[in-house]
Amino acid sequence: MSENTLCPRAIPGEKVTRGNITYLSIHEDSRSQLRSAVTVWLIPCLYTGVFLVGLPANGLALWVLATRVEKLTSTVFLMNLAAADLLLVLVLPFKISYYFLGNHWPFGEAMCRITTAFFYGNMYCSVLLLTCISVDRYMAAVHPFFSRSSRSPGVAACTCISIWLVAAIFTVPLTLWQQAYPLDKANITLCHDALPRHEEAEYYYYYFVCLIAFGFLLPFVVMLFSHCSVLWILWGSGERYMYAIKLTALVLLSVMMFYTPSNILLLVHYSSSCSRLHGHLYLSYMVTLALSSINSCVDPFLYYYVSQDFRDKVRQGIFSHSKQTLTSLKTSKDTPLGRAPTHSPWCEALAPLSSTASACSRAEV
């Protein structure tokens, strides 16, 4: 790899030891990018927006799903998705401080490892949970009779536990390897932005290739197949499902928009053509990584708040002091979500999508 090449995932550096302290020495072009307005202002501003929107959106959604909605199969997946998105949002203040301080990490090595692991772990955990939700809806729509016997809250809970374990395994290497290095001839400490060149080539190559393959590419193929199959079924069912078609397409589009760019740059980084790429790949990757975190504050609006009845329950929980009995989402003229348990698995799987559930219920009356 050329000495001047800026790898998109991390800047390659050389270890320099002075006294008992090991510094990283990086190329001057890399230093200039660390000081750029994109790194110091744009990226932390993006993370700040995600934090301000994602924290209340996911926090309220998780509270409503956990306390005021019947524990259906779909509800279990959505609760875990809200939890994963919420955990990702909660580590963003550390990254925001880091970038606003000019790429300086004052929180120590242990916190750098934890923050990096939580960020990547919860991001790919969300991808896996989105995959499960798409498969759940595929089974309910395309194989409804088999779905009646195979779908249950218990199975969903076991699946979610497995996903959390897989996500934890994904992040183990990030907690074992040093992530924070003081920058040579500068009074700052970098966190995960610059790593020793030999570690980049020997260790992280295999780690990130596996992460891309099993954390994004394979789940994305499954999501693409599941959503397209559901869209095909809905399209053949008539105009009453038009809103459901649009919303399902929007869900798939959001995954493509927010997760694909950063993972493509990771693939470019570990391709043979990386040695011929110079200039702005690092900044491009950091921006796309920040954009991928936006999905954590988009999910609540695509999966929960799209339902008028869900929004009503949020308002009731905030403004009403009276105790309410644990129930499923109530049936209403516009959003008959609560009817899902007494109808087909298809209705129950799409319960969070208000207009879809309405069309489903009307179709079965």
CATH number where 285 lies: 1.20.1070.10
**Among residues 153, 157, 205, which one has the least CA distance to residue 349?**
153
Please indicate, yes or no, if residue 143 is contained in any of the structural domains: no
In this structure, the answer to whether residues 259 and 182 fall within a common structural domain is yes
Please give the angle made by the CA atoms of 100, 256 and 221, to the nearest 5 degrees: 130
Residue 203: HSE in the Cβ half-sphere, 13 Å Cα cutoff: 15
Please indicate, yes or no, if residue 5 is contained in any of the structural domains: no
In this structure, the answer to whether residues 59 and 194 fall within a common structural domain is yes
Q: For residue 12, which amino acid is it?
A: P
In this structure, the answer to whether residues 357 and 283 fall within a common structural domain is no
Please indicate, yes or no, if residue 317 is contained in any of the structural domains: no
In this structure, the answer to whether residues 341 and 193 fall within a common structural domain is no
Rg (CA), the chain: 23
Please indicate, yes or no, if residue 156 is contained in any of the structural domains: yes
- Kind of pairing, strands 11-18 and 180-182? unpaired
User: pLDDT tens track of the chain, all 365 residues?
Assistant: 444 444 545 677 778 888 788 888 887 777 888 888 889 999 999 999 999 999 999 999 998 888 877 788 888 999 999 999 999 999 999 999 999 998 999 999 999 999 999 999 999 999 999 999 999 988 888 888 777 777 888 999 999 999 999 999 989 988 988 888 888 888 889 998 887 877 655 677 778 788 888 999 999 999 999 999 988 887 877 666 777 788 888 888 999 999 999 888 877 766 644 544 444 577 888 899 999 999 999 999 988 888 777 777 777 777 764 454 444 444 333 333 333 334 455 555 555 444 444 445 444 43
Straight-line distance from the first to the last Cα atom of the chain, in angstroms, rounded to the nearest whole number: 65
Count of Cβ atoms closer than 10 Å to residue 52 Cβ: 13
Contact between 303 and 85 under an 8 Å Cβ cutoff? The reply is: no
Name the residue range of residue 335's domain.
326-365
In this structure, the answer to whether residues 45 and 155 fall within a common structural domain is yes
Please indicate, yes or no, if residue 181 is contained in any of the structural domains: yes
**The dihedral sign for the CA sequence 6, 205, 258, 104:** negative
Q: What is the number of structural domains in the chain?
A: 2
From the number of C-beta atoms within 10 Å of its C-beta (0-12, 13-18, 19+), residue 72 rates as buried
In this structure, the answer to whether residues 280 and 357 fall within a common structural domain is no
Cut 0.85: pTM above it: no
In this structure, the answer to whether residues 59 and 156 fall within a common structural domain is yes
